[in-house]
Amino acid sequence: MAEFDVHADSITQEGRRMPEFYLWLRVTVEVLFALQNCGKQDSARAWIEDRDNFLFDFVADELGYRPDALRKRIREALERSRTLKRNRDKEGH
Which amino acid is present at 68? Answer: D
How confident is the model at residue 68, as a pLDDT? 96
pLDDT for res 41: 79
pLDDT of residue 39: 61
> pLDDT grade, residue 15 (50/70/90)?
low
Among residues 28, 18, 36, 32, the alpha carbon closest in space to that of 55 is found at: 28
Interior/surface letters 53-89, b for 16+ CB within 10 angstroms, e for the rest = bebbbbbbeeeebebeebbeebeeebeeeeeeeeeee
Task: Provide the pLDDT for residue 25.
Answer: 93
pLDDT (tens digit per residue) in 42-88:
888 899 999 999 999 999 998 999 999 999 999 998 888 888 888 88
